[in-house]
DNA sequence: ATGCCGTGGAAACCACGA
């Protein structure tokens, strides 16, 4: 079973790229982030015609996450990350699909840092850690997948020294990410490729993609029950080079 | 050193992204 995560940066604006990638890559389960579409403007007919069921948590203008599945029922578990009834941003969607609990996340960016946006990000990471701990205790196959907006280590960004103060790489975000993983999760791509430089995002600016000035911020965290089934994984880097494309590339893993 | 690009919604500019 192939599971993918892809920050589409506007599902309607980049729909043709998404559909082309779905056809070429043929993932069984897909987590999407940054739909940038209100709930009633999700392109469900196009997604359905491509062969995918879908559940989505949309929002006007910003954010928005979705889970797609090919030929499988998607049983929604929830669309609220517990811990803050004031949080109205559509950044979380949890579903049971193919015998796996899939949590699709779009973690807040946090910039400019320091400031209220970083504060919100840190609180969101605390809430995610709390939910992740509960999911681990269930001792079932779980994948937390999505745009974490977190660069785990210096190996994961083209110029670490430039990002020391950035909300994606500052020490408190790195420590929060490491603390989350240390609950017992497996960072899939890093576990498959312990020493390689692998990026999932390249800025639109400054020819970042052609310079390979990227960062690894889209991740798959697997519970022990699922990590043992991890066979392979990678980044569909070429998709980032397509016309009218997202600034992220799709990331995928193959599960036995 | 810098949103230089790109999206969506509102309004012909704005907020936001990483």
* Interval A91-109: pLDDT, tens: 999 999 999 999 999 999 9
A106 is catalytic: yes
Mean pLDDT of chain A: 96
Q: Which of the four pLDDT bands, split at 50, 70 and 90, describes residue A169?
A: very high
pTM score? 0.97
A147 is catalytic: yes
Question: Average pLDDT, stretch A141-160?
Answer: 96
* Nearest residue (CA) to C1' of B3: A205
Question: Average pLDDT, stretch A58-72?
Answer: 95
Note the pLDDT of residue A190.
98
Say which of A52, A92, A147, A187 is annotated catalytic.
A147
Q: What is the C-alpha separation between A60 and A178, in angstroms, rounded?
A: 32
Say which of A6, A52, A92, A106 is annotated catalytic.
A106
CA-to-C1' distance for A62 and B15, Å? 10
Model confidence over A208-218: pLDDT tens digits? 999 999 999 99
Note the pLDDT of residue A103.
98
Q: Is the CB of A235 under 7 A from strand B?
A: no
Model confidence over A182-203: pLDDT tens digits? 999 999 999 999 999 999 999 9
CA-to-C1' distance for A155 and B8, Å? 34
Nucleotides on chain B that have an atom closer than 7 A to a protein CB are 2-10, 16-18
Q: Smallest Cα–Cα separation from A11: which of A26, A28, A33, A27?
A: A33
Model confidence over A115-148: pLDDT tens digits? 999 999 999 999 999 999 999 999 999 999 999 9
Note the pLDDT of residue A108.
96
Q: Is the CB of A35 under 7 A from strand B?
A: no
Q: Is the CB of A62 under 7 A from strand B?
A: yes
Question: Average pLDDT, stretch A52-65?
Answer: 95
Q: Is the CB of A193 under 7 A from strand B?
A: no
Note the pLDDT of residue A36.
95
Residue A206 pLDDT greater than 90, yes or no? no
Q: Is the CB of A5 under 7 A from strand B?
A: no
Query: How many CB atoms are located within 10 Å of the residue A62 CB?
Result: 13
* Nearest residue (CA) to C1' of B18: A109
């Amino acid at each position: 079973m192939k599971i993918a995560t892809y920050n589409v940066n506007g599902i309607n604006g980049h729909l043709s790229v998404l559909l082309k990638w779905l056809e070429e890559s043929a993932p069984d389960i897909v987590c999407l982030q940054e739909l940038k579409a209100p709930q009633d403007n999700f392109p469900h007919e196009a997604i359905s015609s491509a062969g995918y069921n879908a559940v989505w948590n949309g929002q006007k203008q910003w954010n928005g996450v979705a889970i797609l599945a090919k030929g499988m029922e998607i049983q929604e578990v929830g669309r609220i990350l517990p811990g803050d009834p004031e949080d109205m941003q559509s950044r979380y969607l949890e579903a049971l699909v193919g015998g796996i609990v899939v949590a699709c996340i779009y973690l807040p960016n946090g910039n400019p840092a320091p400031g209220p946006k970083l504060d919100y990000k840190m609180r969101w990471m605390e809430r995610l850690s709390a939910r992740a701990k509960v999911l681990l205790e269930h001792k079932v196959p779980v994948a937390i997948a999505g745009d974490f907006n977190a660069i785990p280590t210096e190996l994961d960004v083209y110029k670490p020294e430039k990002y020391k103060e950035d909300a994606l790489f500052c020490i408190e975000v790195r420590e929060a990410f490491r603390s989350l993983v240390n609950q017992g999760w497996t960072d899939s791509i890093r576990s498959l490729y312990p020493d390689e430089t692998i990026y999932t995002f390249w800025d639109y600016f400054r020819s970042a993609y052609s310079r390979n000035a990227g960062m690894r911020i889209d991740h798959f965290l697997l519970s022990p029950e699922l990590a043992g089934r991890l066979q392979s994984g990678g980044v569909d880097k070429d998709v980032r080079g397509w016309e009218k494309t997202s600034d992220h590339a799709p990331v995928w893993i193959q599960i036995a």
